[in-house]
Chain A
């Protein structure tokens, strides 16, 4: 069981690095989608032994929303804005990966130091949650495009969700509430962000075209 949880968490961390290292927006969106699905599975797996109907349905619906609905919206936004990759990040991708490694180190240390009242099922759970939030922050701070910023918010939120799963294992109501809140916040952020994206991309697009014709 622990193996499975650990594997999920490792994949969660790796998707974090995928988000940091890829310049293609499609790959970033996919990373976030995978994170959503992984977290859904994680929330179910953690409860094994005391499964309830709600305990399965809620994570499941959250996984569907985060893994399929939101990515679908994001892909649509991407197509509408006609943009494929993040062009000029504030810090280079190499440096993003290094920052990610540093974040991983910090989260492991924090996870080592932090003592929770109830023992999480895996020693990696808290660090992975921290790390995912930190990745979100790095992405928000270091990327220019509105779409990638939204992805950063989503990663941040995924980290919070994972942390919730770690802390509130034996408080199902809290989990449910948290998940509902998460989904709400996710959609809310999306709504605002997509509005921004379409506005922002309108003129970025033309800029880009002008620059390209000038170079030709």
Chain B
């Protein structure tokens, strides 16, 4: 626990230090990044120990804030979420040292380092806080610091817009949390988490938590801020936000579930439904994007959907009294939290390299980058395969556990329990197939083929500092893919904290489930080995024969140009057509259909349907409603006095009657 406090302190020193040395760039980078990296390294050891089952520790310091106390508690659940926070923050800070170089002289860098340190500290406090007031304060600090990080390039209109969207969405969520904690606090007479327990209206509390934390996590339709904010932020910040910050929403939901007592089946149904819609719509929207980072942001919505599916299956199984299924499902969902942190961090940093070197994020303007950026390309490929849930990488392990739970549930539960299971497994299959389409596009169009523009043509590999984080994360993906069973077995304390089942039986169940995962690991290793063997055989066979190089076969066309390659939009066109009803893609064609060709232009644009059809009209309506109150504001003191008098009179009458 002391180590964690020191780590928070180091973040604080980093934050304060970067303001002090604001004008000395070299010192600033050193202090700002140093604070995050040192703080993370200090904290990671106790977090690992606690996640592996060290007894929970707590620390309580009195605080002057009413009902508040500086009450920290480190249990397996907190520790599990601390791991990706420390890992990704440290790597992102390392990455940022070089990434932000490009802005040197154009932008004040001190605020960026300051807020990165604050963000890291606030995330740590969020998962450690054991008092509602402390939690909410840290939650709010997290939202604000990330808001300032998102609006780093505040000279761009689109960035400011994204920042506002994020701020508003974030506060709608916080409002729900405030109500939630007030209700819990009033029922239990204290704001400390360990005094919270199931009160009467658990359903209402669950819904409040779902909206409040779902906004942060990015459940559809509360996800609208996510595809705006993530692309706008600098890439290492997007990595932190997408890989770990949105996971604090999942953490919060799980933490609240531990207060609410035995879960009800409809909570699980709701989570399954949310997971299904977030997963499928998230990946379909990702498919339709032209901006690499926006694509990744939507894919985060998809992965949050997969996590929600796992949680939903787990809750349905818990409420139906099927502990094995519940344990496996929770293990899958939580492992996916970790996995998504690894590969989404990796992909955002890779996308950052691409944007840094080519100055564009438009997928259709890139191409052929694998030759120019081999390291970035190779790690991005690993990330793309992992996020598509393919063996031999980590994405498959967590999805496999969720599949396993839902297949088992489909057999052994009754009709009402097996329907969400069947929906989950068919939804997961669809999401998997669509994710493969999405990430073959992202990798294939960006890194393969010919460069489509000069930007891509002249790109160079990013510096080593920007490559190392990618390699670390990629090896993490491979590690969990190969040794998943060890990881799964070590999750017993965590699952036991979440489900409230005794740790020994959880451990036994996990050992049983991890048998399959171990064989999956063997197969992953075999796949790598066999593919390598076949490659070797092919190379040996070809070494003594004639191997020629030629143009790509263009069906006889002799003068191909890079512009004629299949683009990302055409690659996904069949799928966006099939899901057109949900996407409402706008097609803009300028040009003529006359006999002689003229300059023509064709573009497609896919707005977020929820933004367009739900939130924009909603907020327009609100602002119209507010406008109708305008006449009240006459800027004359007499009127205001009158209003006060009328209000007082009305209150009096209400009180008297």
Q: Do chains A and B touch in the complex (CB under 8 A)?
A: yes
Footprint of B on A, CB under 8 Å? 92, 94-95, 112
Pairs A–B under 8 Å by Cβ, sample size 4? A92-B581, A94-B578, A95-B581, A112-B415
Residues of A within 8 A of B581 (CB): 92, 95
Minimum C-beta distance from A80 to chain B (A): 35
| Beta-carbon contacts under 8 Å, B570-595 to A | 578, 581
Residues of B within 8 A of A92 (CB): 581
Residues of B within 8 A of A95 (CB): 581
Per the bound structure, the CA–CA distance linking A94 and B574 in Å amounts to 13
Residues of B within 8 A of A112 (CB): 415
Minimum C-beta distance from A88 to chain B (A): 15
Interface of chain B, main secondary structure: helix
Residues of A within 8 A of B415 (CB): 112
Per the bound structure, the CA–CA distance linking A21 and B37 in Å amounts to 59
Per the bound structure, the CA–CA distance linking A92 and B578 in Å amounts to 9
Footprint of A on B, CB under 8 Å? 415, 578, 581
Residue of B nearest to A105 (CB): B419
Residue of B nearest to A92 (CB): B581
Per the bound structure, the CA–CA distance linking A197 and B343 in Å amounts to 60
Per the bound structure, the CA–CA distance linking A94 and B577 in Å amounts to 11
Residues of B within 8 A of A94 (CB): 578
Per the bound structure, the CA–CA distance linking A175 and B211 in Å amounts to 52
Residues of A within 8 A of B578 (CB): 94
Per the bound structure, the CA–CA distance linking A112 and B415 in Å amounts to 9
Per the bound structure, the CA–CA distance linking A43 and B288 in Å amounts to 50
Per the bound structure, the CA–CA distance linking A8 and B415 in Å amounts to 23
Minimum C-beta distance from A214 to chain B (A): 14
Residue of B nearest to A95 (CB): B581
Residue of B nearest to A98 (CB): B581
Residue of A nearest to B580 (CB): A92
Per the bound structure, the CA–CA distance linking A95 and B578 in Å amounts to 9
- Which are the 4 A-B pairs with shortest beta-carbon distances? A95-B581, A94-B578, A112-B415, A92-B581
Per the bound structure, the CA–CA distance linking A95 and B579 in Å amounts to 9
Residue of A nearest to B579 (CB): A94
Per the bound structure, the CA–CA distance linking A159 and B415 in Å amounts to 25
Minimum C-beta distance from A104 to chain B (A): 13
Per the bound structure, the CA–CA distance linking A92 and B582 in Å amounts to 13
Per the bound structure, the CA–CA distance linking A95 and B581 in Å amounts to 9
Per the bound structure, the CA–CA distance linking A92 and B577 in Å amounts to 11
Per the bound structure, the CA–CA distance linking A92 and B415 in Å amounts to 31
Per the bound structure, the CA–CA distance linking A169 and B581 in Å amounts to 43
Per the bound structure, the CA–CA distance linking A80 and B415 in Å amounts to 50
Per the bound structure, the CA–CA distance linking A94 and B415 in Å amounts to 28
Residue of B nearest to A109 (CB): B419
Per the bound structure, the CA–CA distance linking A92 and B579 in Å amounts to 11
Minimum C-beta distance from A203 to chain B (A): 28
Minimum C-beta distance from A106 to chain B (A): 12
